[in-house]
A and B are shown apart, each in its own frame.
Chain A
Amino acid sequence: MTLFDLLELEFVQTALIAAAVLGLVAGVLGPFIVTRKMAFAVHGTSELAFTGGAAALLLGIGVGYGALAGSIIAAVLLGVLSRRESDRDSVIGAILAFGLGMGILMLALYKGRSANKFGLLTGQIVGVDSTDLDLLVVSSVAVLAVLALIWRPLFFASVDPDVAVSRGVPVRGLSIVFAVLVGVATALSVQVVGALLVLALMITPAAAAMRVTASPLRATVLSVVFAEIAAVGGILLSLQPGLPVSALVTGVSFVIYLVCRGIGALQRRAA
């Protein structure tokens, strides 16, 4: 089949829509995640999305709902347990390891098809069906709506916490709300790129964008563009040779990152 024949297929179209929605959400959240130094938290959350997904598989519930529950629990746990920034690293490490272990146990107990097992870790976007897509779109709209509401105080609290506190911004409350938003987005991304590679959508595009501009608005726009190129482009590239989607998504994303690092270095030398 040619690429055009493949694009006629319904499951391919569903996968592309899912990727485009995810690229938007991940691209918008990314600069906040990078500024707040939450890359490890995202990784920890995605491991618990895996645990939740595995539990759902075992119980016969939709994997998407399990992943969502797992990562929201993780986000709240991380928010509550790591009240001090100095604790955060070790708290995430402890929760992540436990969650991953529990997930592996549940997969071992699951008697169903093994493709599902592997998919949670490394992604299975072509397995996204229309009910998954509904959940994905509704959750994404909710995440973006809440983010739009808290945008300015969240930005203030992320880049300038001392002065934000002085202006009455609820810095702690916002960090828990944001952790939940990240949890939802992570659970959605797990469906596409898998728990192990969520960072390729949530961190790499934003980190690349922030290398080439100091304007927060431009960084957000670029981050979305890069995430879309990585997510949609990765799927398109994977179709014809039949390679794993996640490998190509992470590959595209990393190439963009390298190019932006190079441009950033040139800009600084010129300045």
Chain B
Amino acid sequence: MTAISLRGARLSYGDRVLWDGLDLDVEPGEFLAVLGPNGSGKTSLMRVLLGLQPLSSGSVSIAGGNNAIGYIPQQRALDQSMTLRGRDLVGLGLDGHRWGLGLRNRRERRIRVDAAIASVDAERYADSPIGLLSGGEQQRLRVAQALVGDPTVMLCDEPLLSLDLANQRVVSELIDKRRREADTAVLFVTHELNPVLPLVDRVLYLVGGRFRVGTPEEVMNSRTLSELYRTPVEVVRVRDQILVVGAGACEEQTHHLSAEAAS
């Protein structure tokens, strides 16, 4: 069964069309990277998949529905004095969206939270205040938070942003491990393909209403990207890295789901 399926999907705000006629199937266990410059609709695609943004036309379906999604946001600075431990953050991923106090089945809950923490090797600092942890430690706990609900789909929204190289590798390998062991589909929004290139099965590249889906070889070449950007773009492979020259595609960016939802 297909994990994520979009059919003839169109998203527009007034006259501005972010994308149209988007057909996309992501299979269980597949790793799909979503690339594109700012404003190309990467975050909007994420919001559509999360059910926060209706499509203008077309259809979207997620195997198992919204509760089967594990979401990993980008790392951001947390208040140092926040009354929250890693264990609490992970627990919210399990049942934070449910009503009530959650007094029942505490023991079973604890077993699942412990297992998720162990799966990302975060036992050592899971009981420390989360604001005092490093960015890499926080993102490991974010992976555990997404995994604890046993998702069939993982949506990753720039989860490596602002991490150093070593931690980028650790976090992306944890995500990779999960999809291999549990056949979880991964949709990974990023502006920087190289840190996850060895893991990527296919790429969805969005530019100004146009898009292309295919393997990294099919999409990340000078001809395809020049067509997408409608301007000469040079794609160079240096050892195992892909460098894109002339697209202005690698700017830093930050955004939050809730900030966009509020505006």
| B100 interfacial contact with A, CB 8 Å | yes
Q: Is B83 touching A160 in the complex (CB atoms < 8 A)?
A: no
Specify the chain A residue showing the minimal Cβ separation from B145: A163
B132 CB contacts on chain A under 8 angstroms: 271
The answer to whether A216 touches B83 (Cβ under 8 A) is: yes
A35 CB–B CB distance under 8 Å: yes
Which residues of chain B are near A215, meaning CB under 8 Å? Answer: 83, 85, 88
- B134 at the binding interface (Cβ < 8 Å): no
A161 within 8 A of B: yes
Contact bitstring B247-263, A, C-beta under 8 A = 1, else 0: 00000000011100111
A172-B257 Cα distance, complex, nearest whole Å: 13
* Cα separation A169 to B67 with both chains bound (whole Å): 12
The answer to whether B239 has its CB under 8 Å from any CB of chain A is no
Question: Considering only CB atoms, which chain B residue lies closest to A164 in the complex?
Answer: B96
Contacts of A152 in B (CB 8 A): 92, 95-102
With contact pairs A84-B262, A163-B145 given, residues A216 and B88 touching in the complex (Cβ less than 8 Å): yes
A156 to B263, CA, bound (A): 20
A6–B129 Cα gap in the complex (Å)? 45
Contact of A159 with B262 at beta-carbon distance under 8 Å, contacts A168-B97, A214-B129 already known: no
Name, among B66, B69, B73, B83, the residue most crowded by chain A CB atoms within 10 Å (CB to CB). B83
Give the CA-CA distance A214 to B130 in the complex, in Å.
Answer: 8
Q: Using a Cβ–Cβ cut-off of 8 Å, how many residues does chain A contribute to the interface with B?
A: 34
Contact B96 A166 (CB under 8 A): no
- Contacting A at CB under 8 A, from B24-83, are 50-52, 66, 69, 71, 73, 81-83
Contacts A84-B262, A216-B83; is A166 near B95 (CB within 8 Å)? no
Once the chains bind, are B84 and A156 in contact (CB under 8 Å)? no
B93 in the interface, Cβ–Cβ < 8 Å? yes
The reply to whether the CB of B12 lies closer than 8 angstroms to some CB of chain A is: no
Q: How far is the CA of A151 from the CA of B263 in the complex (A)?
A: 25
**Is there contact, CB below 8 Å, between A35 and B83?**
yes
- Asked if A148 is an interface residue, CB under 8 A from chain B, the answer is yes
A268: shortest Cβ distance to chain B, in Å? 8
Which residue among B92, B102, B145, B257 has the maximum number of chain A CB atoms within 10 Å of its CB? B92
What distance in Å separates the Cβ of A23 from its nearest Cβ neighbour in chain B?
19
Q: Which residues from chain A contact B117 at a C-beta distance below 8 Å?
A: none
Q: Is the CB of B97 within 8 A of A156?
A: yes
Tell me the bound Cα distance from A172 to B256 in angstroms: 15
Q: Is the CB of B69 within 8 A of A210?
A: no
A137 an interface residue at 8 Å Cβ cutoff? Answer: no
User: Judging by beta carbons under 8 Å apart, are A166 and B50 in contact?
Assistant: yes
Give Cα A203 to B98, complex, Å. Answer: 27
Docked complex: A163-185 residues within 8 A CB-CB of B: 163-169, 171-172
Nearest-CB distance from B252 to chain A (Å)?
18
* Nearest CB of chain A from residue B23's CB, rounded to whole Å: 24
Q: Does A94 contact B (CB under 8 A)?
A: no
Q: How far does the alpha carbon of A181 sit from the alpha carbon of B255 in the complex, in Å?
A: 31
CB closest chain-B residue, reference A210: B83
* Interface flag for B128 (CB, 8 Å): yes
Q: Which residues of B contact A159 (CB under 8 A)?
A: 82, 84, 88-89, 92
Q: What residues on A are CB-neighbors of B51 within 8 Å?
A: 168
B128 partner residues in chain A, CB cutoff 8 A: 214, 271
Interface residues of A in 243-271 (CB under 8 A from B): 271
| Chain B nearest Cβ from A220, distance in angstroms | 9
For the complex, is B155 an interface residue (Cβ under 8 Å from A)? yes
Determine whether the beta carbon of A151 is less than 8 Å from that of B92. no
Q: Is the CB of A219 within 8 A of B83?
A: yes
Most chain-B CB neighbours within 10 Å: which of A84, A152, A215? A152
Shortest Cβ gap from B106 to chain A (Å)? 11
- Inter-chain CA distance A216–B82, complex, in Å, is 9
The interface residues of chain B lying within 8 Å CB-to-CB of A172 are 261-262
User: Is A153 an interface residue when CB atoms closer than 8 A count as contact?
Assistant: yes
Q: A168-B51, A216-B88 are in contact. Are A163 and B93 (CB under 8 A)?
A: yes
21 interchain pairs, CB-CB under 8 A:
A31-B83, A84-B262, A152-B92, A152-B98, A162-B258, A164-B92, A164-B258, A165-B50, A166-B50, A166-B73, A167-B71, A168-B50, A169-B96, A171-B261, A172-B261, A214-B83, A214-B129, A214-B130, A215-B88, A216-B83, A271-B132
* Interface residues in chain A, defined as those with a beta carbon under 8 Å from any beta carbon in chain B: 31, 35, 83-85, 148-153, 155-156, 159-169, 171-172, 210-211, 213-216, 219, 271
